[in-house]
Structure 1
Amino acid sequence: MIVMDSKAQLSVDIIAKVVEGRITIANAAKLLSKSRRSIERYVKRYQQVGIQFAIHGNSGKAPPNKTPVSIKEAVQALIKDKYFDLNLLHLAEQLAENENIVVKRETLRGWAHDIHHVKRAKRRRSNVRKRRERMVAPGLMMQMDGSPHRWFGNKKHCLIAMIDDATSEVYAEFFPSETTVGCLKVMRECIEAKGVFKTLYVDRAGIYGGPKRCNFSQMQRACEELGIEIIFANSPQGKGRIERAFDTFQDRLVPELRLNNISDIMAANAYLKHVFIPQFWQAKIQVKSKQAPEFTPLSKHINLDDICVIKDHRKIRNDHTFSYGNKFYLIDSPLKHSIANQKIEIRNTSKKGFTAHFAGRKLAVSEVNEPSKLASEDLEIQKKLEVLALVEKLGNVSKASRQSGVSRDTIYRHLRLVEQGGPNALKRQETPNIRHKNCVDMEIEKAVIEFSLEHPHLGQQKVALKLTKALGIEVSPNGVRSMWLRNDMNTTALRVVRSQALHES
């Protein structure tokens, strides 16, 4: 059985008419848009094999370079189960590296579309923006930001990163959140590796000295001490280098952390610094600069331990003490002159606590242990014992009563308690829950509670009215509310819950 399409059928009909002499070779060439030589070749083949001349010799045969179906099915299974969150280029790299399967990206695209499983890029409409050229030399501008995301596990962590605008060289580390300590640590890592850069391009967040913390930002203070100028971006697109870097991190780093079963921050930082950045980022993303680096070597007189820390200031009291962290500290260092009413610098380091400095000199301090205040109950017992001591000193209860302002009956009662149980007997005894004389009878309150639970949606006024008409119980709306408060059912929701629990039991 020979299957032909319309084009092949037309070729057969025309060549057959040429053989019969009904159409010339020139007209057949025009009808089929072929050369005269091709028509002559078709006629010769038609005379030898008949209408099969119109069928290509490879028709129905598999191409020799076709990928086996078994490999296609294996790759599709891997996409569904293991590599479901990788883009096509990343998927091709991982298949070649981990599975020893080399497949072109476009072939992978077709296989992924067949199972409706393609990771699509984010498409957002944006305003037309003019492209900004890179800086000509490394160290002229560094961009910095933090990206909160579920990088590993179910909990969000923040990736704080700094990238060179000229070469895209990146310094990054995971932290529980975007904090000043984390930003200072990443900046210090860059300075120790390369030197002091010229400018830092950031957003207007308060952590970098934005409007909310323009007067007390630790990052801004550290940059001023190092001679780094901070530039604030008016939009995220302004610092697009670091924003696009975060897109790449989220697209590639998250699947790799999952594939390596990394779920804690220490392992994630180790993989980021020793595997991802050296093997992928530096090899494929980082570029060469046009000019020599502009980093300034760190001076020997500058100690980063004194700059990349959290600094606070406290005022010295007249007795050379100061408060910090809800505690009092005394300055033990010998001083030639008093520094009372002066401000000292507190450098807070997470590992070593804090150190106090004045005029560039480190001060020795010690914590002042003040006696703790008595509790209210102990203070009350102490006052009673002081009255009893006054009685013993004067030898007369009446004189002690007049001087202390405590009645004689109270003094005699306290004396009896001390004789029976000692000073601890003077503690205030908890009185049992005694009903006030103006409270209604327990039977009436019980009837009100039962009626309220039977009709939990009625208000206090309707409950009082219906009880008066139906049961003849005289009770005011305020009285009903007082009973509700005593029994913790003063709202409709509480009464409904209590009523449902009562019916279920």
Structure 2
Amino acid sequence: METFCGHGLPSSLYTDRGSHYFRTPKAGDKVDKERPTQVGRALARLGVEHIPAYSPEARGRSERMFSTLQQRLPRELALAGVTDVEAANRFIADVYLQAHNVRFARPPEIAESAFVAADPDQLAEILCIEEERIVGRDNTIVFGRLRLQLPPSPIRHHYVRANVKVRQYPNGSLAVFHGPRRIARYAAEGALGGPPTERNRAA
């Protein structure tokens, strides 16, 4: 989210085949692009090509970077007296990344950015967890341990048996969409977060 908002969208993203990136029916086989993960779904909606790494050289490069971070970061955090996640995130953004880039970054062959500017509001509606649900007979939706009660709607009597999508945002809050229309918002614990927004959205 920070990269896409700060720099824009890349044409493609080259990653390993970790289970958060791709579904692989059998270890070592090709990834299943017909059943995308949440990451794959989001990248597809953004128009970013997602390329899985298969060669040992490609995997080795990413693993070396992970090794560098895993060895250096814990020591740097300890030396800085960092003891919680929020402080760690601030330290990484404000201190560590700058020092890391000074040491390891290399200038690009072409200086002009290839990133494409993105609308932060659109990104917020895509870079989230999104799952399909069918509304129950009591006009509720089960999402994890929560049962979300849909509020009265000015455009229809109920949504019983309707197919909807539930989006869970990074801050834990939720929203329910019927087609392009957001029909309800909820706090992380499931409390209804105000009246439904009945305006059409492109997201």
Please point out which of 122, 131, 140 is paired with 1:303.
Answer: 122
CA separation in 2, counterparts of 1:351 and 1:252?
28
Q: Which of 64, 81, 95 is equivalent to 1:244?
A: 64
Aligned AA for 1:227?
G
Q: What does the per-residue CA deviation read over 1:341-383, in whole Å, with 9 as the maximum and x for residues that have no partner?
A: 321111113535311111211113798xxxxxxxxxxxxxxxx
Q: Which residue of the partner structure matches residue 22 of structure 2? A: 209
Please give the alpha-carbon distance, in whole angstroms, between the structure 2 residues aligned to 1:338 and 1:330: 8
Alignment of 1:310-349 (within 5 A): 310-317=129-136, 320-324=139-143, 325-327=145-147, 329-336=149-156, 339-349=159-169
Choose which of 88, 99, 103 in structure 2 pairs with 1:268. Answer: 88
**CA, structure 1 residues 336+330, in 2 after alignment: closer, same or farther (shift >3 Å)?**
closer
Q: Do the aligned partners of residues 236 and 258 (structure 1) sit closer, same or farther apart at CA in structure 2, a change above 3 Å counting?
A: farther
> After superposition, where does 1:309-458 map in structure 2 within 5 Å?
309-317=128-136, 320-324=139-143, 325-327=145-147, 329-336=149-156, 339-349=159-169, 351-364=171-184
**Alpha-carbon spacing, 1:350–1:296, altered in 2? closer, same or farther (3 Å):** closer
The 4+ residue runs of structure 1 with deviation greater than 6 A are none
Cα RMSD of the aligned pairs, angstroms, is: 2.9
Does the Cα contact within 8 Å between 1:203 and 1:235 map onto a contact in 2?
A: no
1:323–1:260 distance in 2 versus 1, CA, 3 Å: closer
Whichever structure has more strand as a proportion of its residues is 2
> Given residue 308 of structure 1, which amino acid in structure 2 is its aligned partner?
L
Provide the rounded CA distance (Å) in 2 between the counterparts of 1:274 and 1:230.
29
1:80-229 matched pairs, under 5 angstroms: 188-211=1-24, 214=32, 215=35, 217-229=37-49
Q: How many residues align?
A: 178
Question: Greater Rg, structure 1 or structure 2?
Answer: 1
Q: C-alpha displacement at 1:231, in angstroms?
A: 1.1
Superposed, 1:18-37 pairs within 5 Å as none
Q: Partners of 2:129 and 2:71 in 1: how far apart?
A: 34
**5+ residue gaps, structure 1:** 1-187, 368-505
TM-score computed with the length of structure 2 as normaliser: 0.73
User: Within the alignment, does 1:259 sit opposite 2:82 as a pair?
Assistant: no
Q: Which amino acid aligns with 2:113?
A: P
SS at match of 1:364: strand
Alignment-mate amino acid for residue 176 of structure 2:
A
- Structure 1 residues 271 and 360: CA distance shift in structure 2, 3 A: same
Normalising by the residue count of structure 1, what TM-score does the alignment of the two structures yield? 0.32
Give the alignment partner of residue 231 of structure 1, picking from 34, 51, 58.
Answer: 51
